[in-house]
């Protein structure tokens, strides 16, 4: 069975292709611009995948605030193109969404049926992307909401912390954002198996448990054997264009949803293969 992976150069795309081996066909941005409807249809026609893992997206949360059109093209229109092509060619679709579809006012993990209320344009476009995929291909779409994704390479929080630790003795990291750090190496293999395991629809899959950003940073430094102090800070000290939910840990209300290892095991697994 061929699995077509869009966004092949991104964190989840790369991790998925590592686990797929010969079954995976990866298309990076240079191979396929997912905002081009005709190109998407042609790529799916050419590769005839049984499953599409749609991992391409606009993931620059702050950048989305100043480019609504660009973020909408990538996170709403492109998902529709991919879902339409999947349905036309009889492929199943697994597409990614985010904890940022929630407003962060809850104080226990968000489950699939919780009301959404994105605070940012990124979150809003991802939510509309979910709706587009489920509308275009309801019988064959699995929307996986995940959170705080990181991998050995790429632009992510653990790599930022490791970079800052090169030059500082003390780091200040916020304690007023709580989420579910998710190691791409743990998540990606589950994504491609999901359609065999559960009915179509929305599923929450993220590193088990919840952490503040400070706890996450401390776990990264400990796993890397770095003796750097981490002090607590508040988000007000680091203003950003996009608002982020104060609390966005994820859990599934469906007992058949696969569960990832605890978020701390993800940090340890990632840091064991960390690429400086």
Q: Is residue 40 within the footprint of ligand NAP (CB under 6 A)?
A: no
* Count of C-beta atoms within a 10 Å radius of residue 275: 9
Segment contacting ligand NAP by CB under 6 A, of 31-39, 40-48, 211-219, 244-252: 31-39
- Please list every residue from 183 through 222 that binds ligand NAP, using CB under 6 A: none
Find out whether 112 and 254 touch, Cβ atoms under 8 Å: yes
Q: Is residue 83 within the footprint of ligand NAP (CB under 6 A)?
A: no
Q: For residue 181, which of 141, 209, 142, 222 has the smallest C-alpha distance?
A: 209
Q: Is residue 148 within the footprint of ligand NAP (CB under 6 A)?
A: yes
Nearer to ligand NAP by C-beta: 17 or 224? 17
CB of 122 to ligand NAP, least distance (A): 8
- Please list every residue from 52 through 81 that binds ligand NAP, using CB under 6 A: 55-59, 74, 78
Known catalytic residue at 247:
no
Segment contacting ligand NAP by CB under 6 A, of 26-34, 219-227, 257-265, 268-276: 26-34
Distances (CA, A) of 153 to 8, 9, 112: 13, 11, 29
Helix-helix angle 263-272:157-167, to 10 degrees: 60
Q: Is residue 131 within the footprint of ligand NAP (CB under 6 A)?
A: no
3-state secondary structure of 15: helix
Q: What is the DSSP letter of 171?
A: E
Count of residues that interact with ligand NAP, criterion CB under 6 A: 26
Nearer to ligand NAP by C-beta: 66 or 168? 66
d(CA 55, CA 79): 10
Nearer to ligand NAP by C-beta: 34 or 194? 34
CB of 153 to ligand NAP, least distance (A): 9
Nearer to ligand NAP by C-beta: 32 or 165? 32
For 178-217, the DSSP string reads EE--EEHHHHHHHHHHHHHHS-SEEEE---BS-EEHHHHH
Nearer to ligand NAP by C-beta: 174 or 229? 174
d(CA 35, CA 72): 10
**Sheet containing 51-54: order of strands:** 24-27, 3-6, 51-54, 92-98, 141-146, 201-204
CB of 29 to ligand NAP, least distance (A): 4
Positions annotated as catalytic residues are 122
Residues that bind ligand NAP (CB under 6 A): 7, 9-13, 29, 32-35, 55-59, 74, 78, 96, 98, 126, 146-149, 154
């Amino acid at each position: 069975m061929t699995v077509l992976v869009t966004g092949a150069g991104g964190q989840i795309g790369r991790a998925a292709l590592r686990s797929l081996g010969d079954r995976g066909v990866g298309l990076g941005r240079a191979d396929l611009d997912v905002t081009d409807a005709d190109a998407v249809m042609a790529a799916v026609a050419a590769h005839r995948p049984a499953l599409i893992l749609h991992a391409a997206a606009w993931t620059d949360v702050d950048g989305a605030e100043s480019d609504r059109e660009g973020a909408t093209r990538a996170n709403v229109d492109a998902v529709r193109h991919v879902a339409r092509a999947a349905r036309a060619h009889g492929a199943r679709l697994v597409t990614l969404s985010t904890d940022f579809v929630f407003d962060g006012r809850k104080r226990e993990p968000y489950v699939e049926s919780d009301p959404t209320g994105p605070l940012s344009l990124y979150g809003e476009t991802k939510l509309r992307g979910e709706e587009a995929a489920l509308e275009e291909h309801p019988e064959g779409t699995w929307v996986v909401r995940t959170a705080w994704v990181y991998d050995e390479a790429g632009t992510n929080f653990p790599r930022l912390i490791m970079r800052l630790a090169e030059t500082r003795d003390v780091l200040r990291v916020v304690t007023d954002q709580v989420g579910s750090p998710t190691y791409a190496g743990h998540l990606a293999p589950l994504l491609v198996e999901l359609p065999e395991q559960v009915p179509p629809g929305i599923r929450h899959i993220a590193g088990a448990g919840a952490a503040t950003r400070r706890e996450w940073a401390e776990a990264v430094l400990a796993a890397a054997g770095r003796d750097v102090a981490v002090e607590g800070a508040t988000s007000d000290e680091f203003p950003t264009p996009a608002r982020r939910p104060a609390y966005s840990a994820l859990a599934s209300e469906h007992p058949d949803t696969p569960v990832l290892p605890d978020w701390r095991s993800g940090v340890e697994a990632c840091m064991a293969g960390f690429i400086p």
